[in-house]
């Protein structure tokens, strides 16, 4: 009987060892997958939407009297179709980054919103803007900003 009870102890130890190894293996696999995803996220960089918003806001600031005091709100980013005979005609026919590029390679994100900034006389202006961000083969190539009012 003594050897029979010892067999149970050995079996329990084996089960515990196998269980511990399984848990450790699963944790190692989870860590590897998580590390790979984190590395991929770092390599992929900002999204097209983030790039479009940053570039459009930068272009809006360039047209303001006090760009560092600008405050943006109501920002919307939407995929848009390329309007070769409409609002995109100027950018496609005269702007060097897009001139001559096959339109099938171009995608457009429309970034719109409101900017509040000081004017020349010190008052605060509130103006709506639309910005077309043009991507050629998924690379941001050009932006076009249009305000509701002149700047």
CA distance 95 to 74: 28
22-59: pLDDT as tens digits: 655 555 555 555 555 545 555 678 999 999 999 999 99
What kind and span of H or E run contains 139? strand 139-147
Whether the full predicted model's pTM is greater than 0.75, yes or no, is: no
Q: What is the CA radius of gyration of the chain?
A: 29
Residue carrying the six token digits 């984190």: 38
Domain ranges of the chain: 1-45, 48-147
122-143: pLDDT as tens digits: 788 899 999 999 999 999 999 9
Closest CA to 119 of 147, 85, 87, 92: 147
């Amino acid at each position: 009987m003594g050897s029979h009870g010892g067999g149970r102890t050995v079996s329990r130890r084996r089960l515990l060892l196998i269980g511990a190894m399984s848990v450790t293996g699963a944790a190692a696999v989870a860590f590897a997958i998580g590390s790979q995803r984190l590395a991929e996220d770092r390599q992929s960089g900002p999204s097209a939407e983030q790039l479009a918003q940053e570039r459009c806001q930068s272009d809006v600031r360039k047209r303001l009297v006090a760009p560092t005091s600008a405050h943006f709100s109501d920002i919307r980013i939407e995929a848009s179709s390329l309007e070769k005979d409409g609002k995109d005609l100027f950018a496609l026919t005269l702007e060097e980054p897009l001139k001559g590029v096959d339109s099938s390679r171009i995608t457009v994100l429309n970034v719109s919103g409101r900017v509040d900034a000081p004017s020349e006389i010190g008052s605060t202006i509130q103006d709506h803007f639309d910005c077309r961000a043009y991507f050629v083969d998924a690379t941001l190539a050009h932006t076009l900003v249009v305000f509701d009012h002149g700047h």
